[in-house]
Structure 1
Amino acid sequence: MTSTGHRAAPKLIDAVTIRHDAHELTWTAIGRVRVVIAGHEWIVDETKALWIPSALPHTVIPDPGALVLPVFLPPEQVPQPWSDPHHVLRTDELDALARTIAQPGLATASAVASARARVCEIIATGSVDDLRLPTDPRARTVAQELLADPSRQETLEEWGLQVHASAKTLQRCFAGETGMRFPDWRTHVRLRAARRLLSTDQDVRGIAAEVGYASTAAFISAFRRRYGETPARLRADTLSRRR
């Protein structure tokens, strides 16, 4: 089945194999979705969306109760698209843009066009908020694996064996193409994933483990250094603002 454009409203869906003439950013408003592409399973949840290039067949398998908001982007609006599927870190900005595009009845046509242009810019530049992805295909593979599962513990030497590059080459790619050393980039990914998970009911200890910290104390310390407050305080402040 081929479709173009964007859906007027979100809806619950069953497992279905589809492809689109437009690029797609698969995003969930509620719950988790598995997307199978060429035998590889990708997870879309509270922390990450999935970029799917146009015309690529994929099977969408939502968890019970999941709410999917696909964002469709015309290929001509993304001058340098990723040719393969890629996880994209969810941020407050990206969430707001996705809601505007996927629910056009709630926004003006100009707001939808502006939101779509901004998403295209994010995809075309390979950046999400202040986090950049490396352009070297070997380093980008490492980055995508960590976006998919921030808890992975491989060293650069171990990653190098998987992507056929030396640790020095990968370190140089991360430093030169993202502006961060690999350990700093990985920490950034973990803390951003943790920040998203703080909007769920999961406790801080569980979040720390899910994003790759063996020690809750180490997680809290890293989180405070990055955001200036503890995870518990950030969660409390966020809940207070929502009331």
Structure 2
Amino acid sequence: MAQGSTREKTGRTRAPAGATADEDFITAGGHPTHVHDFHQPLYAPLGRISVSTPGSDHELSPSTALWIPAGTPHSARFHPDSLVLAEPFDADVHELPYAEPTAVRVDESRRRLLPARTRDAGAGADDASAFAAPTGIPSAALPLPRPTSATALTVAGALLRSPEDQRTATEWAESLHTSSTSLRRAFRNETGLAFSEWRTRVRLNRSLDLLDRGHQVGTAARVGFVSTNGYIMAFRRHFGCTPGAWIKGRPGQGNPRPNRLS
């Protein structure tokens, strides 16, 4: 299903206080906060999904899926022209290796499994091999705590959608009728990161998706770095290797992923 659609098998959905319980609330654009009593992996073989869980936001793409443990409040926004796949797994039968929502890498061999599972009407919802397969490889994405105040959250959401946005903290503050000092303080106090570092992590995380799909030329500009050298230096500082080495070491290339140094 395209244009931000999602497929879910039968399961019980309930809403936390103040949230909607009716599954008809799922639209082409996403759905508000709700809770499942089953574990669920979310995956976007096409396009992107923005998922909000308590304390964090997650950007999902063809190379990154998200396991949502049963009982976790979450909402989602489907970007235009995205294909969203979701499958339930009985929490009484399966125990996830994660206590919190966890992003996982999806390599080529596993990328075909969840779509194949959704096409197979005979596949059991508790198929252990299918349950384990999408787990893939732990995500290398840098942690991105979500700010809580309205202004900082607005800026964070915009940068997650468009990391190439070049507006400075001062320019963001002016557009939102606040001071740059207040905006910077909000990021520092609410996420533990300076505004510039938070934005750099957004850009680096988005670049991981491009690199995992084989893109290297032009990646720096596409994610908002003003120079290739600046991008390479930031990448090396956070991941311990160059983008080129990352591509050579990605799953399916026959080489181990270089170790992260930070």
TM range (shorter): 0.5 to 0.7
Displacement over 6 Å in runs of 4+: 18-22, 47-52, 93-96
Q: Is the 8 A contact 1:26 1:68 kept in 2?
A: no
Unaligned runs of 5+ in 1: 9-15, 36-42, 73-89, 116-127
Rounded to whole Å, the distance in 2 between the matches of 1:138 and 1:94 is 33
Unaligned runs of 5+ in 2: 1-5, 11-26, 51-58, 67-72, 89-101, 119-124, 136-140, 257-262
Deviations 1:5-40 (A, max 9, x none): 9337xxxxxxx74876973999544222699xxxxx
Q: Is the 8 A contact 2:64 2:106 kept in 1?
A: no
Q: Is the 8 A contact 1:151 1:213 kept in 2?
A: yes
Q: Is the 8 A contact 1:146 1:189 kept in 2?
A: yes
Q: Which has the higher helix share?
A: 1
Give the match for residue 85 of structure 2: 69
Rounded to whole Å, the distance in 2 between the matches of 1:45 and 1:27 is 10
Q: Which moved more, 1:224-233 or 1:213-222?
A: 213-222
Residue from 73, 86, 104 that aligns with 1:92: 104
Q: TM-score, normalised by structure 2?
A: 0.55
Rounded to whole Å, the distance in 1 between the matches of 2:30 and 2:205 is 30
Q: 1:62 to 1:44 in 2, by over 3 A?
A: farther
Q: Does 1:6 align with 2:19?
A: no
Q: Does 1:150 align with 2:152?
A: no
Give the match for residue 133 of structure 1: 146
Q: Is the 8 A contact 1:190 1:212 kept in 2?
A: yes
- Identical aligned residues as a percent: 32
Q: 1:5 to 1:178 in 2, by over 3 A?
A: same
Give the match for residue 217 of structure 2: 205
Give the 5 Å matches for 1:99-138.
Answer: 104-107=125-128, 130-138=143-151
Give the match for residue 125 of structure 1: none
Rounded to whole Å, the distance in 1 between the matches of 2:29 and 2:158 is 24
Deviations 1:67-110 (A, max 9, x none): 421468xxxxxxxxxxxxxxxxx9426999xx6xx9744448x9
Q: TM-score, normalised by structure 1?
A: 0.58
Give the match for residue 240 of structure 1: 254
Q: Is the 8 A contact 1:26 1:44 kept in 2?
A: no
Give the match for residue 87 of structure 1: none
Q: Is the 8 A contact 2:8 2:85 kept in 1?
A: no
